[in-house]
Each structure stands twice: as structure tokens, then as C-alpha cells.
Chain A
Amino acid sequence: MQYEVVVGLEVHVQLLTKSKIFCGCANKFNPDNPNTQTCPVCLGLPGSLPVLNAEAFRLSCITAMALNCEIARFTKWDRKQYYYPDLPKGYQISQYDLPFSEHGWIEAQVEDGPVRKIRILRAHLEEDAGKNIHDESGRGGDSKVDLNRAGTPLLEIVSQPDIRSAAEAKACLEELHLLLTFLGVSDCNMQEGSLRCDANVNLHIQTESGDKVATPIVEIKNLNTFRGVEAAIEVEVKRQLEEFKKTGRKLGDPGVEKETRGWDAERNTTFAQRGKEEAADYRYFPDPDLVPVVVSEEQLTEWRTFVCESPSRRRRRFQEAGLSAYDAEVIVNQGREFADYYERVADAIGDAKQAANWATQDVLRTLNDKQQTIDDFALSSDVLAALLKRIVDGDITVKSGRELFAALIEEADDGQAAAASRIDELIEERGLKVVNDTGALDAAIDAALAESPQAVEDFRNGKQQAVGAVIGKVMKSLKGADPKQVRERIIEKLSG
């Protein structure tokens, strides 16, 4: 049976503001001290009123701009009404028919496949709910509610059903995650719930009679890891296919409604979930406690200056500068700080490829070994650039460069901050400067030959590899020498 997978994502992003969206309470993940970051407003106490946090709106607009969305010049707030203990007002302040942004796109790429544009239907701003905490001991203890999270600014990004595979859904979410971290609008900590994803999944099946039919749409809730998104969709695709073969039920059949399912990562299965309300009539209406937001041209212009280059655009630019697709991806996917670091080094030495080699190998390996981020890295971009410049200029060999790199890091570990000036000293101390002076080279070779009569004899008897020992001796006394040049010169002398 031929079929096409159709997926749309709904992603909730907690914004990195100091205070909550409608009150002055701290916006911090703090599950250990429940109900300590609350006030009459986010507790929904009688008589309290919301006031919009302008910073939350600004961050939302910057994000939407980076997602290539249009920003509405007029937007309003609506109440989405349902009962749940984690929702203290009995409604969530959200946006219904006039979201602040619409019609954007993001790029996603699965391994070596084509880069595909996934359209963004809309992005709107709302308040997060609190958290219900149930007794999991099985002893039937009271359920509790923690409202520290209530009122956290939450950006909901809704994609069009443009995604065509589980892997692409994962890639799309990863790309979004990367973009959000590039923008610095969210900490995107998925364990803490800063980035949460729901997936709408169904199949377009080509039946034997040649008709195209769609299976009922299923929303899988709370996919909170990249791997979870991919796995849940894979499993759900199989389940829908089996279900269709069994029942033939399709989208639009009488009685077929959108179903909500949960994801059980341990059992690797999706399961039917009861909705939080019996029938979903949220009775949206404009919140009379809040005034609509009118966005000015000046604000748009100002906010646009905070929109950074997207990761996909950056990868493309790195490739245009000569990097392989692989290197460009490795560098950009490390995050904005790393890509910035790389780019400062590349610009300073004028050799993108050399900078990329070092960034993707030596720097990354060191960061991994030391469990560091680029912000903690011992060598600033200036220092690494100064070092690589020596290589590019032919002052030292790549091998010497590695030795210097290691030496600088070792010194930093011992408390001596790495500085560009230290590079020259180290080159001097260790005699790493490439030796172009043939006199000094000849003298060293002659000395080495004199010390190695056996090797000389072996060579003359046809044992080519005997020069190795002599080269070793020369390199030991003259570290900056080019081993290739040394070998040629020895052979020349012995053959002469």
C-alpha cells in the first residue's frame, strides 16, 4: 500500500524573560519550591488584573521575524476557557483569530536529502499553565498544584502539515531549537519543559482502486525529546496503517473526530488520551482586561535589528566560503557562540578551511574532553587566530601548531591565561620556527650523519628506511625543520 506521511508540529516555547507575561513574578524554573513565585495576578485571585510584559511581546516578534513571519500591526488577546486545576482563572489568556504573526517558514534537512521549506501557519503568544502534581506512590494521596509556572510567557508556533516523515519532523524541531538558541529568546531546556512539541499526524493512502484517502488526524501530545518526536511519529504511522487496514476508517467519515494520543517512550507506543475537557468548545472571546497591541513601524525596525542570521542561511554562507556541507553543519549546529568563534578565527586568518579544520577537530575535541562550552574555552578566538596565522604564513608547521595548541591549553589549565604574545615565546622556547636557513639545516644534518655511521652504511646498502633515524635526530635538534625537506636533503647528501 502506497502512502504519504503528513505531519504538522505545534511547538510551545517558554520565553526567556525576567518576569512572567502578565505580572511581575520571577520567570524561573523552580519545582523544588512550589508556589513561591506567585502573586494575586498569576494565582488568579479575585480582583487581580493582567498587564502585558512588553519584553515577552518583543521576544515573540523577534522570533516570528526570524521565522520569516509577517507581524500583525494590530493584535489582541483572547480567553480560551476550560476547567483544569493547573489553570487558576478557568481560562488561559491566548490569541485566537488575530495572532501577532502568520505565514512564515523554516528550513529542514534530513541527512543528505534536500533542504525543504516547512511553512509556519502562525505564531502566537499566551500564558503557560501551572503544573498538577499527583501522588505516584499508588496510595491515593492528594493531588497538588504548583503555580510557579503559571503565567510563564509561552510562544506557540504552528507549522503547516508540510512535514513528510518522522525524520523530517525531528530535523524540523532541531532546526527550530537551534534557531531559538541562536536568537537567545529561550533556554530551550527540553527536560525542564522550555520547549514542548505536539505533532498532528495522518497518512494519505493510495488505495488499490487508485483513490487517495486520508486517515483520521491524531494529535500526539507532549513530545519532549527530539528522539521522542521521531519515534512517536514512526510508531503512530504504523498504527494508523494497521488501523486503516483493519477498519478502513478515514478522515471525514461520520463520527470520526480528531483524536488526542499520548506518547509512552518506555513502551514505545502511543496511547489514547482523554481530553482535558469533555467537548472542546473553548468559547474564545476577546479578553476585556487587556487592550489590543498596535505595533508601529519604528518598533518593527528596531526589533529587526535583533533578528540574527538563521542557522540555515549561515550554513549556506559557510559553504560558499569553501567549507564542506559537513563542516558547515558541524560548526553551525554547535550553536551561535561556536559559529561566531569559528567565524572570527576564519576572518582573522583569511583561510576558512584551515579555521574549520581546527574548529571541528582540535577545538571540539578539547571541549568534549573537558565538558566545556565555547564560552569556557581556554583559547579565545584571538589566540587561536594568532596561532593559525603562523601556520598560514608558513612560520610553523601544522604539527608544531598542534603542539602549541596543547601547550597553551596545558598552561591555561595551570592558571596561566592563554595570550597571543605567549605564542611567540613558545615558538622560541621550543624551537618550532620553520627553518629556512639551509646553513643551519646542513650543519644539523651533517652532525646527525656523523653520529649515525650505521644508518649511513645501511642506506648506502639500499635500505631506504634507514634515513628515518637520521631524520629523527635532525628533527630533535631542529624542531622547526620541515621533515620532508630534511629527508630530501639527507638523501641528496648521501647520494652525492
Chain B
Amino acid sequence: MDWIGRSVSEMASALQQGEVTAQALAEEHLSHIEACEPKVRSFLEVFREQALTAAEAVDRKRAAGEKLGPLAGVPVAIKDNICVKGEIASCSSKMLENFRSPYNSHVTERLLDAGAVLVGRTNMDEFAMGSSCESSAFFPTSNPWDLDRTPGGSSGGSAAAVAAGFAPIAIGSDTGGSIRQPASFCGVVGLKPTYGRVSRFGLIAFASSLDQIGPIATDVCGAALTLDAIAGHDGRDSTSAKEPVPSFSDALDQPLAGLRVGVVAEHDNDGLDDEVRQAVAKSVDAYRKLGAEIVNIDLPNAQYGVAVYYVLAPSEASSNLARYDGVHYGYRAEAENGPHSMIEMYEHSRGQGFGDEVKRRIMLGTYALSSGVYAAYYKKALEVRRLIRDDFTKAFESVDFVLSPTSPTPPFKIGEMIDNPLALYLNDLFTIGANLAGLPAISLPCGKTSSGLPIGVQLIAPAFEEARLLRASRMLEQEIGWDGELAGCVSQLAGD
């Protein structure tokens, strides 16, 4: 267990220095997965053979003196809604259980170019709809810190895989907090870049105007190195930004001077867990100690975020998921009593292929887009979305970042929220704003509960300010001192 639970940059530099081969690193991770994965269940499939072959190729290239990418030999897990050529991309849904993608997503191409070794596809809430990984059609994933608890969601498998030491990097997607909330629950770093920063080509859509791919990693530096690899314009995604892409890792260790950190008074409400409140307050103190000015700001429309989100995201989802109709690919219901009609084929295929949470959101969205209520729901939600965006624009006139808890609670127990979808929706309260406004936001560990569960703090930055966001995060990470925590989690897991 030399390398398990170590950071991305440690592994990358050891590989470059020849201290470890990619094959050895892959084998070590694969045997760790073999030993501990049954407890965590973060993977839908482990790419054992593919990973060893890829690692061997990296070592061969390195031996031949060929130029290698910055992630050459680093194990990376990938969320199951991101297409990898020749592999299944199921979105943890029965609907796509056997759908094998004939093409690579943009992010997959970039990762492979960077030399990453893909170790498996990770479990998630079905079609990324959920905050606990429990809506997966296959099985729930456990939180490596406490196996009775959820890793969060929807990128729960990715966050759990990083926390469990199965891979130092996992790719996630974030529509309303799906990278940041599980990162927070699992004590790892999760970054949702600016909308358009990372191409969505090959990301199976949930809500197109909100979806964004990003890294989950052991530490801030790992997130920066991953973003270096995957960010940038892609002509195959019309919403991909043409903004210049700086190096996110180069200046990472240079602290920022004169920081103004915004905090929102309304965030401190009844729904906020006490231990989360205390841990986040410590982060505010840490910034103060680092010379930052703490500024109270007002986001007057933030309170409508959850309502707006649960109109817009299901509306887009109802449309995006219409293609799963049993005709062309994916699940098709068997006809029971003689051949069924076209409508029956649609109804049965969709009725059987989708789980409850997905159906709930398709129904919500279908209703919100109906001709009689479109103006009252969808259009109104778009208008409020603009107000929420304007609030952030105004706030960023006086602060560099907005700091808040990532999630109002620490990880909850598997099954605890399953009958209360509304309470689960409210768990997204702090994270949704960044998606509605298209802003980059990060979650990083900021402490633990008395029972040893991780707590995350979120920073939101202005659009395309990921470089500064990551530097500010690095400052906090060093001040809080999370080093060794992941290793502790891993050894506890291995010992259990």
C-alpha cells in the first residue's frame, strides 16, 4: 500500500521520476480495489485489463523517451454518464444498462491524451438525478468514512472512489451540486468549472444548461492538474467557451493578497447543521488569519434557487431523456401478450427502463413545459434564474469569492432520506446557485464532525476565474491541514 491514498501530484511526480511504474501503480490500485471495493461499491465496472494495458503502454513510451502527458500513468475513475469508446455508459440506469458507446467524449479524449489510466466507471444516481447515489438502478454506494452512510450524489461513486483510494482522480458531472456535495461528504476536493469551460460532448445530458464536467481529486493540486487536462474549447459543443485557458497548476502555490471573501447571512438558517456551521466558521477564520477581508454580502434571490432549479432541470431532463424510447438503442420492453402497439412499446419501455426519481422529474418537467403552464413555470423560472445570476454579478463587485457550506448537513445514512425527496432536494440549497449562474465553484474539506465525518466548504468565483479560485482554495487547504486524513480513511477502510 505504498501509493494508495497518496495525492495526485505525488503519484505524477513519482511516475515522472521513475520511482514507480505505471503498471505497478495500476496493479496496486487494482488490488486495493479488489480488496475494498465490495465494502464501498463505487464502481459499476472496473477496467482491469484495459487499465493494465494502458499502464504498460505508458511505461513503454516512457522507456522509449516519448513525450508523455501530465497525467501519464495516473489512475482515473470516470462517472458512468461520460462516454468511453467501446465501454458501457449506463448512467446507472436499466435504460442504458447495455448501451456501449461507439465514441469517446471530449473529456475522455483529453484524459487519454494526458496519459491517464482509466480504472473503471463509477456508480451514480440514475441519470445524475439525486444526492445520495441511492437512485442508481443497480446498488447504492457507501461512504468510505462510514459505510452506513451515503457518499452523496450524484457523482457519489466518483467521490467514494477517490476517498477510498481506488484512484486519486475521478471525473464527475455537476448539474446542481453533483460534484461538490459528494466531494464534501467524502472529504475530497471537487471542482465544478465555469459553464462552457469543459466540453459537454459525450456527457450524457441531464439538464444541458446546467451540466458541467469537473474533477474530484485527493487535493486542490490534483483538481488543478486534472482541469489543465480537460479544459478548453471544443467545436463539437456549441456552448463550449472560447475563453483562453491558463495553466491552473503552475501558480497554484502562490497565495493571493488582498482577498475579499463574501459570506451570506441568510445561509445561517435553521436547516444548517451545527457542526457544519462551526467547521465553516473555522474556514472563515482561517481566511481572516491569511489576511483576507470578510465581507457580508446579500444574495436576495438565492432563496428561490431550489425552486427555480426544480423547474428548469426537470424541464430540460424531460426533453433530454425523450430519446430513450426503446426504438433505437437501450432498453426495450418485451411484448407480453402478442405484439404491442407503438405507443405500448414506448410506455412499457420507458415505464420499466426508468426508476422512480427519473420518472418523477420527467413528469415535473413535462408538466412545466406544457402549453398551459409554460409561462407560469418554465418562463418564470428562467426570469428568476437571471435575477440570481445578477445577484452574483453584483456581489462580485465587492468580493472575490463567496464562501458557504457545501451541504447543510454531514453525510446522512443510506435510506434515511429515501422517502423524503423534498428534503433531499433542499440538500442542494448552497450548490445550486453556481449552476444557475454558470459560475465555477469548489468544495474542499474543512473539518470533521465529532463522529469523524468529513465536512466541506464551498467557494464560488466569478466566471472563468478557476485559476484564482484554485489558488484561494490551496491557501485554505494548507491552513486547515487535511494532509494524512485520506490516508487515515483508506487504512480504516482496509482494516475494517
Contact = CB atoms under 8 A, between A and B. Distances in A.
Contacts of B366: 283
Given A83-B346, A285-B369, A291-B238, A46 B325 contact: no
Interface of A: 40, 43-52, 79, 81, 83, 85, 88-91, 145, 281, 283-285, 288-291
Given A51-B236, A283-B369, A46 B99 contact: yes
B89 A49 contact: no
B99 to A, nearest CB: 7
B315 A285 contact: yes
Given A145-B327, A285-B319, A285-B378, A49 B371 contact: no
Residue of B208, B323, B342 with most chain A CB atoms under a 10 A cut-off: B323
A283 B200 contact: no
Nearest to B208: A288
Task: Classify the secondary structure of A's interface with B.
Answer: loop
B328 A145 contact: yes
B236 A45 contact: no
Interface residues of B, number: 45
A390 to B, nearest CB: 59
Interface of B: 81-83, 89, 91, 96, 99, 101-103, 105, 200-205, 207-209, 235-239, 315-316, 318-319, 321-325, 327-329, 342, 346, 366, 369-371, 374, 378
B204 A47 contact: yes
B156 to A, nearest CB: 20
B329 A49 contact: no
A89 B323 contact: yes
Top 7 A-B residue pairs of the complex, sorted by shortest distance between their CB atoms: A90-B322, A288-B209, A288-B208, A283-B369, A46-B204, A47-B202, A47-B204
A90 B325 contact: yes
Nearest to B339: A140
Contacts of A291: 238-239
Contacts of A81: 319, 322, 369
B370 A85 contact: no
A89 B238 CA distance: 17
Given A51-B237, A288-B208, 20 more contacts: A43-B328, A44-B323, A45-B101, A46-B96, A46-B205, A47-B82, A47-B83, A47-B202, A49-B237, A85-B327, A88-B323, A89-B322, A90-B322, A283-B318, A283-B369, A283-B370, A284-B369, A285-B374, A285-B378, A288-B239
B96 A51 contact: no
A45 B329 contact: yes
B126 to A, nearest CB: 13
B364 to A, nearest CB: 13
A47 B319 contact: no
A453 B374 CA distance: 103
Contacts, number: 95
B186 to A, nearest CB: 25
Contacts of B319: 79, 81, 90-91, 283, 285
A46 B323 contact: yes
A51 B235 contact: yes
Contact of A47 (B101, B322, B329, B346): B101
21 contacts: A40-B102, A45-B101, A46-B89, A46-B204, A46-B205, A47-B81, A47-B201, A47-B204, A47-B205, A48-B103, A81-B319, A88-B323, A88-B328, A90-B322, A90-B323, A145-B327, A283-B319, A283-B374, A288-B208, A289-B205, A289-B238
Contact of B322 (A40, A45, A83, A85): A83
A284 B324 CA distance: 19
Nearest to A282: B371
A308 to B, nearest CB: 32
B103 A50 contact: no
Contacts of A85: 325, 327, 342
A35 B187 CA distance: 48
Contacts of B321: 90
Contacts of A290: 238
Given A85-B327, A91-B319, A281-B370, A289 B204 contact: no
Contacts of A49: 200-201, 236-238
Nearest to B99: A46
Contacts of B325: 83, 85, 90
A43 B369 CA distance: 25
B236 A44 contact: no
A161 B92 CA distance: 51
Contacts of A52: 238
B359 to A, nearest CB: 15
Nearest to B367: A283
Contacts of B202: 47-48
A284 B369 CA distance: 7
A135 to B, nearest CB: 12
Residue of A44, A85, A288, A291 with most chain B CB atoms under a 10 A cut-off: A288
Contact of A45 (B102, B342, B369): B102
Contacts of A51: 235-238
Nearest to B240: A49
A285 B369 CA distance: 7
Contacts of A285: 315, 319, 369, 374, 378
Residue of A40, A52, A283 with most chain B CB atoms under a 10 A cut-off: A283
A169 B245 CA distance: 57
Residue of B201, B204, B238, B342 with most chain A CB atoms under a 10 A cut-off: B238
B316 A288 contact: yes
Nearest to A285: B369
Nearest to A140: B339
A43 B328 CA distance: 8
Contacts of B203: 47
Contacts of B342: 85
Given A88-B328, A288-B316, A40 B103 contact: yes
B316 to A, nearest CB: 6
Nearest to B326: A85
Contacts of A145: 327-328
B333 to A, nearest CB: 15
Contacts of A283: 318-319, 366, 369-371, 374
Contacts of A45: 101-103, 329
A488 B7 CA distance: 115
Nearest to B316: A288
Contacts of A89: 322-323
Contacts of A88: 323, 327-328
Contacts of B369: 81, 283-285
B144 to A, nearest CB: 29
Contacts of A289: 205, 208, 238-239
A310 to B, nearest CB: 34
Contacts of B237: 49, 51
Residue of A46, A52, A284, A285 with most chain B CB atoms under a 10 A cut-off: A46
B371 to A, nearest CB: 5
